[in-house]
């Protein structure tokens, strides 16, 4: 009888990709993936540590899972929270038997064997050679593939736990990334998303990110190449040129800004000024007119003055992002921010008010930009059924979500649609019939 495994994933796309690798590793050892924890022989929770509330959710979830597990099932915690807390997790939750960090997933089959015999273990050593090259990822997403190209991070932004949980930066060999791209194309997928913590600093010893974009973009059968997340400082002219000159690379950049104030960026150790960020945006837009641009912004970082926050709002207005993920600062144990003077702490009420003001500004701009695009025609890839109604969720090359009416057989296909409506954030669109061929927006 084969044993079953269920992995529940929290956090970023790197975790989604890691879960696919874990499923792949376990499948090669005879495990069958299942869709829920009930009745599974092994349940793994792949966790995120980026903010306090991400960890609280996992702690709560572990309590629920404890009730759902069948007797004798092995419960493990993997990912960033496992790496950060290590043996402390075994002490806080007595039902947890395995705590496995991002570089130790190869050991999962043996560790699970030990746990079945009653062991409770932590495996959190970093392994700078580990790229899981021989593991065949078990992908669940039907139309696009996440491909990790770089693990870890060598920046030291003072708020961020990632360098602690994912260790030093290392890149996969370009040839390996190309090989994996060819494999996913052979399986019928046409879009890849290259993943790395600061993905455009990719360097495999011979090739940089510009080489990687050109090589992956030239794979036969690939139609869309995306990547996330870049760091503004690693946008060399070579990388921007490679992006602009490779037709398969989508004209969208998610460019984390974090703050619009130079003094704040300095305390965050982001290594760029407001002007340098703006310059990066200008260079990208000059090379790719019509570029979709999204960002990440943190409010309430220690010492944030009214003036610094006003600078963030004004930079958002100046750049006019298509969209932004906004976050309330969360103090993470072990980050340099913990060594800042306690009187720099921003009161919750102030953070809440600034967050609301920022979100209002971001949404207002998004809405204005999107309203201005009604009537436009563009190519979309049908990704999946939408959550509501009998609609399909599609994605434009510049990363807009477009809902279109149609049968599920269209999933995986490319359509030309006209944007007919917007909620402010997402669009509705109608199919432009093939007998009226139109130039595609790109």
The site map against ligand SF4 for 208-247 (x = CB under 6 A) is -----------------------x----------------
Shortest Å, Cβ 49 to ligand 5AD: 9
Closest alpha carbon to 379 in 425, 322, 429: 429
Q: Pick the binder of ligand 5AD from 183, 279, 296, 418 (CB under 6 A).
A: 296
The token duo for 36 is: 């829920």
Residue with the shortest CB distance to ligand 5AD: 296
Which among 246-254, 281-289, 329-337, 379-387 is the span making contact with ligand 5AD, rule CB under 6 A?
A: 329-337
Work out whether 330 is an interface residue with ligand SF4 (CB under 6 A). no
Q: How many CA atoms lie within 13 A of 307 on its CB side?
A: 3
Confirm or reject binding of residue 298 to ligand 5AD (CB under 6 A): yes
The C-alpha atoms of residue 43 and residue 74 are separated, in whole angstroms, by: 6
3-state secondary structure 395-412: EECCCCEEEEECCHHHCC
CB of 62 to ligand 5AD, least distance (A): 22
Q: Where are the alpha helices (DSSP H) in 6-155?
A: 13-28, 52-68, 80-85, 87-92, 108-116
Of positions 37, 102, 256, 260, contacts ligand 5AD by CB under 6 A? 256
- Residue 201 backbone zone (phi > 0: left; psi -120 to 50: alpha; other: beta): alpha
153 binds, among ligand 5AD, ligand SF4, none (CB under 5 to 8 A by kind): ligand SF4
Q: Among 50, 194, 216, 394, which residue sits at the site for ligand 5AD (rule: CB under 6 A)? A: 50
| Residue 428 beta carbon to ligand 5AD: minimum distance, rounded to whole angstroms | 29
Beta-bridged to residue 33, according to DSSP, are 5
Handedness of CA 259, 263, 264, 270 (dihedral sign): positive
Residue 84 makes contact with ligand SF4 by CB under 6 A:
no
50 interacts with, out of ligand SF4, ligand 5AD, none, CB within 5 to 8 A per kind: ligand 5AD
Query: Which of 4, 19, 330, 416 lies at the binding interface for ligand 5AD (CB under 6 A)?
Result: 330
What whole-number distance in Å separates Cα of residue 365 and Cα of residue 363?
5
- What are residue 387's phi and psi, to 5 degrees? -65, -35
Single residue of 89, 162, 210, 382 touching ligand SF4 by CB under 6 A: 162
Query: Site for ligand SF4 (CB under 6 A): which residue of 46, 97, 181, 197?
Result: 197
What mask of x and - would describe binding to ligand SF4 in positions 251 to 290, judged by CB under 6 A?
A: ----------------------------------------
In the complex, least distance from residue 21 CB atom to ligand SF4, rounded to whole angstroms: 19
Evaluate whether 375 touches 418 at the Cβ level (below 8 Å). Answer: yes
Nearer Cβ to ligand 5AD, position 211 or 296? 296
Query: Percentages helix, strand, coil for the chain, rounded to the nearest 5?
Result: 40, 25, 40
Q: Which does 240 bind (CB under 5 to 8 A by kind): ligand 5AD, ligand SF4, none?
A: none
Least separation in angstroms between residue 34's CB and ligand SF4 is: 32
- Minimum distance between the CB of residue 81 and ligand SF4, rounded to whole angstroms? 15
157 binds ligand SF4 (CB under 6 A): yes
Q: Distance (Å, rounded) from C-alpha 158 to C-alpha 322?
A: 27
Does the protein bind ligand SF4 through residue 89 (CB under 6 A)?
no
> In which region does residue 341 sit, left (phi positive, over 0), alpha (psi from -120 to 50) or beta (all else)?
beta
Integer Cα distance of 325 and 273 in angstroms: 20
Structure tokens at 20: 């696919």
Residue 124 CA, distance from chain mean position: 22
Q: Does 329 bind ligand 5AD (CB under 6 A)?
A: yes
Q: What would the two tokens of residue 208 be?
A: 């940089």
Pair of tokens at residue 169: 């930066």
Written as one string, the DSSP assignment of 302-362 is TT--HHHHHHHHHHHHHHT-SEEEEEE----TTSGGGGS-GGGPPPHHHHHHHHHHHHHHH
Among 121, 130, 155, 367, binds ligand SF4 (CB under 6 A): 155
Q: At closest approach, how far in Å is the CB of 231 from ligand SF4?
A: 5
Identified binder of ligand 5AD from the candidate list 267, 332, 354, 397, rule CB under 6 A: 332
Q: Which residues bind ligand SF4 (CB under 6 A)?
A: 153, 155-157, 160, 162-163, 197-198, 231
Binding positions for ligand 5AD, rule: CB under 6 A: 50-51, 159-160, 256, 258, 296, 298, 327, 329-330, 332
């Amino acid at each position: 009888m084969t044993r079953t495994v269920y992995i529940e994933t929290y956090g970023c796309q790197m975790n989604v990709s890691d879960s696919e690798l874990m499923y792949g590793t376990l499948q090669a050892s005879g495990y069958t993936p299942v869709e829920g924890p009930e009745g599974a022989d092994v349940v793994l929770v792949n966790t995120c540590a980026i903010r306090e509330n991400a960890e609280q959710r996992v702690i709560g979830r572990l309590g629920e899972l404890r009730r759902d597990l069948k007797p004798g099932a092995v419960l493990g915690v993997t990912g960033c929270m496992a790496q950060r807390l290590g043996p402390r997790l075994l002490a806080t939750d007595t039902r947890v038997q395995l705590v496995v960090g991002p570089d130790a997933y190869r050991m999962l089959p043996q560790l699970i064997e030990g746990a079945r015999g009653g062991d409770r273990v932590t495996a959190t050593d970093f392994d700078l050679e580990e790229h899981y090259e021989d593991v065949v990822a078990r992908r669940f997403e039907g139309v696009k593939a996440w491909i990790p190209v770089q693990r870890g991070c060598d920046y030291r932004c003072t708020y961020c736990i990632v360098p602690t949980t994912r260790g030093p930066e290392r890149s996969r060999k370009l040839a390996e990334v190309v090989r994996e791209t060819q494999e996913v194309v052979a399986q019928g997928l046409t879009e890849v998303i290259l993943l790395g913590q600061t993905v455009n600093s990719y360097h495999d010893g011979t090739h940089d990110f510009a080489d990687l974009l050109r090589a992956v973009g030239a794979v036969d059968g690939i139609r869309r190449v995306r990547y996330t997340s870049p760091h503004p400082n690693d946008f060399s002219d070579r990388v921007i040129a490679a992006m602009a000159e490779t037709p398969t690379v989508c004209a969208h950049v998610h460019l984390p800004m974090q703050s619009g104030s130079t003094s704040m960026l300095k305390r965050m150790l982001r290594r760029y000024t407001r002007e340098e960020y703006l310059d990066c945006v200008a260079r990208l837009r000059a090379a790719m007119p019509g570029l979709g641009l999204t960002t990440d912004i943190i409010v309430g970082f220690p010492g944030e003055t009214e003036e610094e926050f006003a600078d963030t709002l004004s930079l958002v207005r100046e750049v006019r992002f298509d969209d932004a993920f906004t976050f309330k600062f969360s103090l993470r144990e072990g980050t340099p921010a913990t060594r800042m003077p306690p009187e720099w702490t921003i009161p919750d009420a102030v953070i809440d008010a600034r967050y609301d003001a920022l979100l209002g500004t971001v949404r207002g701009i998004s809405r204005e930009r999107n309203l201005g695009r009604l009537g436009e025609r563009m190519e979309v890839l049908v990704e999946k059924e939408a959550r509501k109604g009998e609609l399909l969720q599609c994605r434009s090359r510049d990363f807009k979500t477009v809902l279109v009416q149609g049968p599920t057989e269209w999933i995986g296909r490319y359509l030309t649609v006209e944007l007919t409506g917007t909620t402010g954030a997402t669009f509705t669109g109608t199919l432009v019939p093939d007998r009226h061929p139109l130039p595609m927006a790109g």
